[in-house]
Amino acid sequence: MNRQAHPNSSRRGIRGVMKTGALTSIAAAAVAASLPLAAHHSFSAEFDASKEIKATGAVTKLDWQNPHGWIHLTVTEICERAAAGRGPDAVEQEWACRAPDSNEGAADWAFELGSPNGLMRQGWTRNSLKQGDVVTVLGSRARDGSTNSNARSVTTADGKRLFAGSSQDATP
């Protein structure tokens, strides 16, 4: 058999194709593995642990996605306070409660949860909250003053308390 007449049948040709395919697969895997990491952030980069929030409203949506789940609420009452310091002399402040103001609106507030895997270990399912359920979320405000917050716990209308798998180091 003449190798020049059939260049694709040579070992060099097959090895080249296999090597190119392997390198392409490795590059694609590296890109795919880095995507969730690029989207992730530290708690303190986005949220302010010194600004506690307690919001009550109706669930409009529960996003069950990685790297974090999200609860979306139509908020009817917002309570805020400065977080208590740490140590034996820490004094917990009273909540200052109000209706959402015209800048914030009652439209859509979003509360970051832990990962779906972490939420399942806390007892959550995709059906733990349904659209229209009234809940109270305790968490920390976003540093940028937006209507995003990080949730530490969610209390349902019947008093059931679900821990939200917060990335904040303190738990309630």
Domain ranges of the chain: 7-39, 43-163
Predicted pLDDT of residue 17: 63
CATH architecture entry for 43-163: Beta Barrel (2.40)
Binned at pLDDT 50, 70 and 90, residue 34 comes out as very low
The answer to whether 149 and 140 have CB atoms below 8 angstroms apart is: yes
Predicted pLDDT of residue 167: 67
Least confident residue range of 23-37, 71-85, 136-150, 153-167: 23-37
pLDDT, tens only, 41-81: 577 778 898 899 999 999 999 999 888 899 999 999 999 99
Q: Return all residues near 111 (Cβ < 8 A) that are at least 6 apart.
A: 55, 70, 71, 72, 73, 137, 139, 148, 149, 150, 151, 154, 164
Query: Coil, strand or helix: which one is 127?
Result: coil
Closest CA to 168 of 155, 149, 154: 149
- What's the pTM? 0.70
Query: Coil, strand or helix: which one is 93?
Result: coil
Count of alpha carbons within 13 Å of 51, Cβ hemisphere only? 16
